[in-house]
């Protein structure tokens, strides 16, 4: 049962939360800059230790720094998932300075997702003693989580729920459905020849790629939400030579795993169309889809909690982009994503956070964690209306 004074308690924390967000935004942390990410992790660890009274485990994998707090030992463990890397290169602060103006907070990574990370720390700090909460803060989400994927899956496996503090969808909606992502590189090898003297003795890699691009494009199924998009492409060396090599990239987005499998099998089954040409296909599924069914019960629970706390009605949204929530859902853990800051402009010049929403959001997360950590069944949200005594999901 959420404690009804959580909103004023989080209001009282707002000044501290803003200070924490400012400190994190001023510590730039692009995923590819391992030293910058390590510095940022040190700051997250220090802030978290202050708020939680406990130091995290520092987990370095392939040079990338992740942090984990395992708090409490209650029967139902809840995972709070955040990342501290951003897409903004070091130096972005000079063109996009940290600023607070007219109720709006700006700065690189403030919305995606340093504010959400701070919300997680403060929400966890409000839990009763013994509440079982794992906070995982990874350092490579923005490049597809190459080093943290296993860690995320392992931590999620033991949890009754994964709450992902990624930025919210427009209007503060939580993200209940994310498409799965697969990435491929299709390379063709042919044979070079002079385009004027003896083109017929060459094997044209550009022509080979052209037919493969059409074949790949035909794998899309708009009715099922499956998109298959050839993106980057290159071939050949000079304008008067039959190209002997070339390649293109393919971006695949799917709503369900059977579509991911279908497209994967079809791309791997591509065969050369020109006699003598060869194909090399690399890549594959990167993130499984986060299907609406993985979020359904948690969404109902969050809506009930929001009602109890007197917060505005909470809605859910389906989005195309993937996140680490795709991984937690992929191992079967109920997952609710987009619980982080309200604002707009992730990865964009107008990235910002609405300050007036921070306390309510922190209260929502804190109450959701409390209600889940209290329960001792894996699917507690079935009775969420009864449990919270409200008919207003």
CB 324, min distance to Zn ion, A: 8
Dihedral sign for Cα 285, 30, 149, 365, please: negative
Whether omega before 233 lies within 30 degrees of 0, making that bond cis, reads no
**Interacting span for Zn ion (CB under 5 A) from 107-115, 267-275, 325-333, 374-382:** 107-115
User: What CA–CA distance (Å, rounded) separates 329 from 295?
Assistant: 9
Contact segment (CB under 5 A) with Zn ion among 108-116, 197-205, 211-219, 300-308 equals 108-116
Q: How far is the CB of 203 from Zn ion (least distance, A)?
A: 44
Part in contact with Zn ion (CB under 5 A); list of ranges 37-45, 109-117, 214-222, 224-232: 109-117
Could you tell me the smallest distance in angstroms from the CB atom of residue 83 to Zn ion?
6
Stretch that binds Zn ion, among 2-10, 110-118, 144-152, 378-386 (CB under 5 A): 110-118
Smallest distance, Zn ion to C-beta of residue 142, A: 6
Closer residue to Zn ion, CB minimum distance, 44 or 189: 44
Closest separation in Å from C-beta 147 to Zn ion: 16
Closest to Zn ion by CB, 113 or 373: 113
CB of 339 to Zn ion, least distance (A): 12
C-beta closer to Zn ion: residue 323 or 371: 323
Least distance from Zn ion to the Cβ atom of residue 325, Å: 10
Pick from 185, 190, 186, 187: nearest CA to 205: 190
Q: Does position 244 bind Zn ion by CB under 5 A?
A: no
**Close Cβ partners of 228 (under 8 Å, ≥ 6 residues apart):** 216, 217, 219, 220, 250, 251, 252, 263
Of 155 and 244, which has the nearer Cβ to Zn ion? Answer: 155
Could you write out the three-class secondary structure of the chain?
A: CCCCCHHHHHHHHHHHHHHHHHHHHHCCCECCCHHHHHHHHHHHHHHHHHHHCCCCEEEEECCEEEEEEEECCCCCCEEEEEECCECCCCCHHHHCCCEEECCEEECCCHHHHHHHHHHHHHHHHCCCCCCCEEEEEECCHHHCCCCCHHHHHHHHHCCCEEEECCCCEHHHEEEEEECEEEEEEEEEECECEECCCCHHHCECHHHHHHHHHHHHHCCCEHHHCEEEEEEEEEECCCCCEECCEEEEEEEEEECCHHHHHHHHHHHHCCCCCCCCCEEEEEEEEEECCECHHHHHHHHHHHHHHHHHHCCCCCCEEEECCCCCHHHHHHCCCCEEECCCCCEECCCCCCCEEEHHHHHHHHHHHHHHHHHHHHCCCCCHHHHHHHHHCCCCC
Nearer residue to Zn ion within complex by CB, 76 or 118: 118
- Contact with Zn ion (CB under 5 A) among 85, 112, 256, 264: 112
Which residue, 326 or 384, is less far from Zn ion as judged by CB?
A: 326
Q: How far is the CB of 82 from Zn ion (least distance, A)?
A: 8
Exactly one of 76, 113, 181, 372 binds Zn ion (CB under 5 A); that residue is 113
Task: Convert residues 146-185 into a mask of x (bound to Zn ion by CB under 5 A) and - (unbound).
Answer: --------------------x-------------------
Residue count (the chain): 393
Are the CB atoms for 341 and 18 separated by under 8 Å? no
Find the shortest distance in angstroms from Cβ 178 to Zn ion: 11
87 binds Zn ion (CB under 5 A): no
Ranked by CB distance to Zn ion, the top (closest) residue is 112
In whole angstroms, the minimum distance from the beta carbon of 386 to Zn ion comes to 35
Q: Which stretch binds Zn ion (CB under 5 A): 27-35, 112-120, 200-208, 284-292?
A: 112-120
Q: Report the residue number, 289 or 322, with the smaller CB distance to Zn ion.
A: 322
Size of the site for Zn ion (CB under 5 A): 3
Return residues touching Zn ion (CB under 5 A): 112-113, 166
């Amino acid at each position: 049962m959420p404690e009804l004074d959580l909103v004023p308690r989080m209001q009282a924390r707002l000044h501290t939360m803003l200070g924490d967000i400012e400190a994190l935004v001023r510590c730039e942390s692009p995923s590819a800059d391992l030293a910058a990410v390590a510095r940022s992790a040190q700051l997250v660890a220090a802030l978290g230790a202050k708020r939680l009274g406990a130091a995290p485990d520092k987990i370095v994998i392939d040079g990338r720094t992740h942090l984990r707090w395992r708090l409490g030992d209650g029967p139902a463990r809840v995972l709070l998932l955040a990342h501290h890397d951003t897409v903004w290169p070091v130096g972005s602060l000079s063109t996009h300075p940290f600023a607070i103006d007219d109720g709006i907070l700006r700065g690189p990574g403030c919305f995606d997702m340093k504010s959400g990370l701070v919300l997680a720390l403060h929400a966890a700090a409000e839990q009763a003693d013994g509440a079982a909460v794992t906070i995982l803060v990874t350092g490579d989400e923005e490049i597809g989580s190459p080093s943290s994927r296993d860690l995320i899956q392992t931590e999620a496996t033991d949890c009754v729920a994964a709450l992902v503090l990624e930025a919210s969808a427009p209007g503060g909606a939580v993200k209940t459905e994310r498409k799965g992502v697969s990435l491929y590189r299709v390379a063709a090898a042919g044979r070079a020849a002079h385009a004027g003297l003896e083109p017929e003795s060459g094997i044209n890699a550009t022509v080979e790629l052209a037919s493969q691009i059409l074949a790949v494009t035909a794998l899309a199924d708009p009715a099922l939400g499956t998109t298959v998009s050839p993106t980057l492409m290159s071939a050949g060396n000079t304008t008067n030579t039959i190209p002997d090599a070339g390649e293109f990239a393919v971006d695949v987005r799917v709503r369900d795993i059977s579509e991911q499998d279908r497209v994967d099998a079809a791309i791997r089954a591509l065969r050369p169309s020109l006699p003598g040409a060869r194909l090399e296909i690399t890549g594959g599924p990167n993130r499984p889809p986060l299907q609406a069914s993985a979020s359904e019960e948690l969404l109902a629970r969050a809506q009930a909690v929001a009602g109890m706390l007197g917060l505005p009605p909470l809605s859910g949204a389906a989005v195309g982009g993937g996140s680490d929530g795709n991984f937690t859902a992929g191992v079967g853990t109920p997952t609710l994503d987009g619980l982080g800051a309200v604002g707009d402009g992730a990865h964009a010049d107008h990235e910002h956070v609405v300050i007036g929403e921070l306390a309510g959001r922190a209260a929502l997360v804190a109450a959701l964690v409390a209600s889940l950590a209290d329960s001792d069944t894996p699917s507690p949200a079935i009775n969420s209306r009864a449990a919270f005594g409200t008919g207003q999901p």
